[in-house]
Copies of this chain bind each other. A is one copy, B any other.
Amino acid sequence: MKVLVLGAGQLARMMSLAGAPLNISISAYDVNSDSIVHPLTQQNLGKGLANAIADADVVTAEFEHIPLTVLAQCQQSGKFLPGETAIKAGGDRRLEKQLLDDAGVRSAAYHIVNVEADFNHAITTLGLPLVFKSALAGYDGKGQWRLKRAEDAAEVWQQISAFLAADENQSIVAEQFIPFQREVSLIGARRANGEVKVYPLTENHHVNGVLSVSLAVPGNEQLQQQAQAMFTAVANKLNYVGVLAIEFFDVDGELLVNEIAPRVHNSGHWTQQGADVCQFEQHLRAVCDMPLGNCELVRPSLMVNILGEDKVPEAILSISGVHLHWYGKSKRPGRKMGHINLSAANNSELKARFEQLISLLSPAAFPELQLMANRLN
């Protein structure tokens, strides 16, 4: 099978590594350079997007911020999975909110803001505090504003209106602030025949809006069922095919969707070591219409993102259960350069190994890890 991935970053790269043993070969469309490359070697394959689509059995995506003309071209081919609607819902918070409403799935109450009257209406109807999120291209904490006190409204509106003025396609979704205890995510897959399989809920810790650690340990069965039901509702609504990630706020055991990502997801990287079949293989199985793999937790596992660093102490490889995954990218401050997976036979062994790992990593480059270690008991 030949799969073309829109996007040539680490997710396409890891799909390539996961696909090779299944004789699934991956080529990737680099949106920035408008070229088709091998996602592992980055070799330019010397063909245009139209030829690459024609050559592929399946077209899929590793990210959702893709030019609409490209999405339309892929959709036209009849090979695009999960398809234009799903990718757009992941890339536009207005469509995402509408989707969640249509699927009957809980998320924060919201109001679309384009002009000052909308802004004021949001404050009146939803109350404070509010979070304002850009509708397009907002991720990793960018394009977000918080409004806690009414007296700051003018200043926040000034920032938002300047932001809106800079891009006529942009819009803002105002959301009620959710006083959540934890952020969790569910990664799962749906096949064309409607079969759905989901991994265990993962607890995520962000630093400055960017994912730092994901933790996958045996969890609360009631919460898992709740998440799975919401996942299935969204996936079915989209007639989704492939891996889908849903981020939730956990509010006293009640889940609200924060956002969806119509693709493999950073918070699912632990599946490379902690599950039978990793999310990258699972996505390929789904879009190639092969049987989905087992999603059970094989071993308690966690993942630590490597941000802006191109080296870690080699000694971490001596820790049992450590797996290092570099993305082969050049160093840039804050850039996702790789991740460390850690697995163990049980929670207490995972905690001990995590403490060992933390002791070897620079606290400046890897802040707040101890917070997550403390969750393991």
Contacts and interface: CB of A to CB of B under 8 A. Distances in A.
A76 interface: no
Interface stretch (A98-106, A124-132, A323-331): A323-331
Contact of A323 (B21, B317, B321): B21
A291 interface: yes
A376 B205 CA distance: 42
B299 A318 contact: no
A296 to B, nearest CB: 7
A315 interface: yes
Interface string A234-258: 0000000000000000000000000
A23 interface: yes
A314 B298 contact: no
Contacts of A17: 17, 20-21
Given A21-B326, A41-B38, A328-B20, A290 B276 contact: no
Given A17-B17, A20-B328, A40-B40, A294 B320 contact: yes
A306 to B, nearest CB: 11
A70 interface: no
A218 interface: no
A326 B21 CA distance: 5
Nearest to A320: B294
A50 interface: no
A43 interface: yes
Given A23-B326, A299-B298, A326-B21, A321 B276 contact: yes
A285 interface: yes
Contact of A324 (B22, B40, B324, B325): B22
A308 interface: no
Nearest to A288: B314
A305 interface: no
Copies of this chain in the oligomer: 2
Given A17-B17, A21-B17, A43-B43, A294 B321 contact: yes
A296 B325 contact: no
A294 B298 CA distance: 17
A25 B186 CA distance: 33
A338 to B, nearest CB: 8
Contacts of A314: 290-291
Interface string A310-354: 000011011011111110100000000010000100000000000
Contact of A276 (B277, B294, B328, B343): B343
Contacts of A338: 21
Interface string A21-45: 1110000000000000010110100
A12 to B, nearest CB: 13
A328 B23 contact: yes
A143 interface: no
Contacts of A41: 38, 41, 43
Contacts of A277: 323
A155 B317 CA distance: 57
Contacts of A21: 17, 323-326, 338
10 contacts: A13-B20, A17-B21, A41-B41, A276-B321, A290-B317, A291-B318, A293-B320, A294-B320, A298-B298, A298-B299
